Amino acid sequence: MPDFVQLWVYLSSAPLFGLTATLVVYLLAMALYERLGQAPLANPVLWSIVVLGTGLVVAGVPYENYFAGAQFIHFLLGPAVVALGVPLWERRAVLQRSWVRFLLAALAGGAAAAASAVLIGWAFGLPGEVLRSLAPKSVTAPVAMGVAQNIGGVPALAAVFAVLTGLIGALSGRTLFRLLGVGEQPTEWIARGFAMGTAAHGLGAARSLQVHAEAGAYAGLALGLQVLLASILIPLLARWL
């Protein structure tokens, strides 16, 4: 037993511990997800977070030790987001014809997401800094943290709200579209993808890419528009209000 403990202490402090643990857990979660027919509640991102978080707490591994290795995956988030531009380039003719519609839809969706979150929080009597952290909840986490800090919110809370929003969107999107009568025709895939990217940012876009290429492309467009609009408009509105 002492030898095992010493081995665990050594491995948990090694730089590649976080990277190896993340990859192994995600691959196992992804295999289970596929085995269950891509059931929403088996979302691999959700269960990877649960398993890794629980494992770090139970084993007493500091987050800093974990992130020392996992930061390589964090670095790859940037190129992954940029790669979403490739399917948009392939659909540039549609974007040139309909860019005004997409921009207006992004404005309406982003305003609804931010305003509804803030108003619900205000109705429950949440503190001002929490409300300001809620405003950018539908923007991808790194941008949400920057926006929250700029308007007097708590960046860590903004990141939590953004991740929860993305997970809820990825888990419930299929059911909501079915209830709303949004089908799987070509134009409806565009609507589904754009809605997922608007409401559930990167996680919604990733889920859309798994379901249909057309949906994934427009989810990436919505994600990019929300990042741009939220970065400009939320700080302006926060100062005005």
Q: Where are the domains of the chain?
A: 2-78, 85-240
Cα gap 29→35, rounded to integer Å: 10
Indicate if the alpha-carbon torsion angle 197, 81, 101, 231 is positive or negative. Answer: positive
Query: Which residue intervals of 15-140 are DSSP H helices?
Result: 17-35, 44-59, 63-83, 85-90, 92-123, 128-134
Mean pLDDT of all residues in 201-211:
82
Residue 3 pLDDT > 50:
no
Residue 4 pLDDT > 50:
no
Tell me if 205 sits within 8 A of 81, measured CB to CB: no
pLDDT-derived band at 1 (thresholds 50, 70, 90) equals very low
Higher-pLDDT residue of 103, 66: 103
Residue 10 pLDDT > 50:
no
Task: Write b or e for each residue in 67-82: b if 16 or more Cβ atoms lie within 10 A of its Cβ, otherwise e.
Answer: ebbbeeeeeeeeeebe
Per-residue model confidence (pLDDT) at position 7: 42
pLDDT digit string (tens) for 50-78?
898 888 888 787 877 777 777 777 677 66
Structure tokens that stand for 114 in this block = 């931010």
